[in-house]
Amino acid sequence: MLIICTTCADGQGQALLEAVENEVLARDWALAIRGQACMAACKQSCTVALQAAGKHSYLFGQLASDEASVDALLAVAAQHAEPGDGLLAWDRRPERLKSGLVARLPPLR
């Protein structure tokens, strides 16, 4: 699941959410997406969390509401959905997500 902060950067978070939703619809993907008001990483805006049961969770920041961010988020969501614990190797991440990592949390056990 992608969780996108809707209050980031004076509406840019909401714009990013809408852009991701539109691209997922265009690709006909089954990816859960939701907006969340304030994820408390305001100095890192725009922020997006990536979560799934039994997998590492990630919080990425410093994202723009542009096509490059949308493509990067969908690519990393596909990687995260692969079998395993969701650990995202740095060298496999899209360039846009190699920096701006705010947090990685271990899976709940």
Supply the range of the domain harboring residue 94.
2-105
Model confidence band, residue 78 (pLDDT cutoffs 50, 70, 90): very high
pLDDT tens readout for residues 9-24? 888 999 999 999 999 9
Q: Residue with structure tokens 């008001």?
A: 37
Q: How many domains is the chain built from?
A: 1
pTM: 0.93
Nearest-angstrom CA–CA distance, 77 and 73: 6
**How much is the pLDDT for 10?**
86
Q: Which residues contact 109 (CB under 8 A, 6 or more apart)?
A: none
pLDDT tens readout for residues 81-103? 999 999 999 999 999 999 889 99
CATH number at residue 17: 3.40.30
